[in-house]
Amino acid sequence: MLPLSLLVLHGPNLNLLGQREPGIYGSLTLEDINRLLMAEALRLEVKVATLQSNHEGVLLDAIHGSLGQHQGIVINAGAYTHTSVALRDAIAAVNLPTVEVHLSNIYRREDFRHHSYIAPAVVGQISGFGVQSYLLGLQALVHHLKKDQV
């Protein structure tokens, strides 16, 4: 059996992690987070590809391109979470199990961050645990995908 292949998408401004509002987002860089994700993927015996973009269309193309390449997606859409019907529609269209993650607890922040356009199209959402949100999201997605293989 081939190992599961998962796509982790990082949205806008996440390339600035480590310097961007560390009181909210922590001091780890995106490179640090990707390194932790790769270590966790190795432990879980899955493959992980990562992509960060500040451009909505690049994220859309990556979601579309995941068909036939990956069995699931972990996404931190950043601010696009609260604005992008297009990302929601792309996730629904490819019909791959997807987990939405956020470093901060979006429900303890500004009111406009309390709504996620993506949430209705995903398996689940994890927010507020810093880098652990990503790791928990990866673990949850793997568990979700493997439960059907047992």
pLDDT in 10s for each residue of the chain, 150 residues: 678 999 999 999 999 988 877 777 777 899 999 999 999 999 999 999 999 999 999 999 999 999 999 999 999 999 999 999 999 999 999 999 999 999 988 877 778 777 899 999 999 999 999 999 999 999 999 999 998 665
Q: Which among 10, 70, 80, 102 is annotated as catalytic?
A: 102
Pick the CATH number of 5-147 from 3.40.50.9100, 3.40.710.10, 1.20.1440.230, 3.40.50.300: 3.40.50.9100
**Residue positions forming the annotated binding site for substrate:** 76, 82, 89, 103-104, 113
CB atoms within 10 A of CB 12: 17
Q: Indicate the domain borders of the chain.
A: 5-147
Indicate the angle between helix axes 131-147 and 30-44, nearest 10 degrees.
30
